[in-house]
Structure 1
Amino acid sequence: MTFRSETAYDQESTDESSITEVESSREETATGHFATSEIVTVYVGKKRRAYRVHRALLVSKCPYFRGSLTGAFPEGRNNEVYLSKDVPEAFSWFLTWLYSGVVNVIETKQDACIAFETYLMADRFITVELKNDLMDAVRRFYARTRMGVELLEVLAKHEGFEGKLKSFGLDQLAYDLHEYCGKIDLDPYMPSSPVRSAINAFLAEGSSTAIDTFWAVRNWAFRDGVDPSILEGCYYHEHSSGSPACKFCS
């Protein structure tokens, strides 16, 4: 089940009155207690793309909404929430997980960018289970393709984030550069490959993410690194390895 936006990932609908109905969720929750729940309208992005979602489901699975919708806040009284800084497509991915319990399959790097935005959204929503599921999907994707600048560009828009997604991204990028590009370039620190050229352009921007990227790649040469995408279990999850909360340990 997927809740798709009508527009591309980096664009937003200009129809502010449009409502994205969670139609498929109605059938799935018809026999459960969420079917009789009040409806919350969530406005996402600068253009305020609207999504109608069962309030009880949001409150039960997401601490962020539990606080905003049940406390003494206008959101709780009006059943309206505004997420002006978020990406509508990322919220659609969040809804897919909310109603189905699974995350979308990542098939392209554009999908990966949406997954990154969804992960960062889940971090603010304090939905650890979603973050871990997304991490598994991201790692599966990068087990069959190489990391480029796509994650770096997303992280640069969210300066200050220091979670597991960033740890994985920097590790995977450093591994891929040394494992693949290093076999092509005579000097791995003076890149000639297209991937390294793109990384160099990003580093030249001088953001804190760029600085972290430089040191991650530089220090990888001194590590006995294993491909981060194939590490088993909970390595990049938001809990200690062996936690009973993780499906890998159940």
Structure 2
Amino acid sequence: MVTSTTSQDASSKSQIFAFSDIISVFVGQNKLEYRLHEAILTTKSPFFEKCLCSGMKEQQEKKVYLPDVNPSEFDIMIMWMYTEKVNPGRDNALITGVYLLADRFCMPDLQNGLVDAFRANYNTYLINPMTVKNIWRLTPEGCKLREAALDLMFNRLCQNPSQYRTASVGKSATTPQKPESEFAIEFAIEFEKLLQENGPLPSALFWKRHDHNPPTAYSLPPDPSSMSGCVYHVHANGKKCK
């Protein structure tokens, strides 16, 4: 008799749930309590593994306190721990927050799922300059999410720069119900503000445009939203996506 991989996975998870201790994780200033399986926490996050398997007081008390963590972001992280699926929607602030949380808890696979979700959100949309600006403000240098945001904006600017300064702005990935004229004003204002800033993002846009100078016919830069495979991913110990 051949057992399917799905059945084997389900059986393995059932065993984890049956024999695992329960850990109380208190999140945020209001100490919202999550009762979670220790085996899930320790196998999915080296942070929790260290807390719960190295003789620290968290291991003895079966309690972990995370007062500086946003419960909405923690919800997404826990959903991924249990299901290996991530669905943050089109909330870029949430995506960014969970991405940074995943980095803090040493969870590169979750980071990769989030950056893939972010790119997919813009497969038919422009990106608001404010979105890119906020991602760059919150993330550190070298972050793959900020790299994806920069490349996405650069691609859209090269496709049709007039979309960021005329009434042809079109739809937004976050609030598609707003009139086009409002987007034209919003995007143009935000892009103008961005260009006037003396910071790393406008500098990065300038040098990206400078470097994108094909020797023959002009070609568009790659579109991050249409890329597939191991792009903008982070990996522990140099391990690549399969």
SS at match of 1:122: helix
Counterpart residue number, 2:203: 215
SS at match of 1:221: helix
Identity %: 27
* TM-score scaled by length of structure 2: 0.73
Matched, 1:43 2:31: no
Instruction: Specify which structure has the higher proportion of helix.
Output: 2
Larger-Rg structure:
2
- Matching of residues 178-193 of structure 1 within 5 Å: 178-182=158-162, 185=165
Counterpart residue number, 1:226: 222
Q: Is the 8 A contact 1:177 1:196 kept in 2?
A: no
Return the match for 1:133 from 106, 109, 113. 113
Q: Give, in angstroms, the shift of residue 132 of structure 1.
A: 1.2
Q: Give, in angstroms, the shift of residue 65 of structure 1.
A: 0.6
For residues 160-189 of structure 1, what are the alpha-carbon distances to aligned partners after superposition, in whole Å with 9 as ceiling and x for unaligned?
Answer: 353111111122123223434345649xxx
For residues 52-107 of structure 1, what are the alpha-carbon distances to aligned partners after superposition, in whole Å with 9 as ceiling and x for unaligned?
Answer: 1111110011111111111232222222222222221111011111111111152x
Q: Is the 8 A contact 2:76 2:87 kept in 1?
A: yes
Return the match for 2:93 from 113, 117, 132. 113
- Structure 2: stretches of 5+ with no match in the other structure: 1-9, 167-183, 213-219
Counterpart residue number, 2:125: 145
Q: Give, in angstroms, the shift of residue 28 of structure 1.
A: 9.3
Counterpart residue number, 1:170: 150
Paired with 2:13 and 2:165, the residues of 1 have a C-alpha distance of 59
Paired with 1:42 and 1:139, the residues of 2 have a C-alpha distance of 31
Kindly tell me: are residues 175 and 36 of structure 1, through their superposed partners in 2, closer, same or farther at Cα, counting changes over 3 Å? same
Q: Is the 8 A contact 1:63 1:126 kept in 2?
A: yes
SS at match of 2:14: coil
Kindly tell me: are residues 48 and 181 of structure 1, through their superposed partners in 2, closer, same or farther at Cα, counting changes over 3 Å? farther
Q: Is the 8 A contact 1:103 1:133 kept in 2?
A: yes
Kindly tell me: are residues 153 and 45 of structure 1, through their superposed partners in 2, closer, same or farther at Cα, counting changes over 3 Å? farther
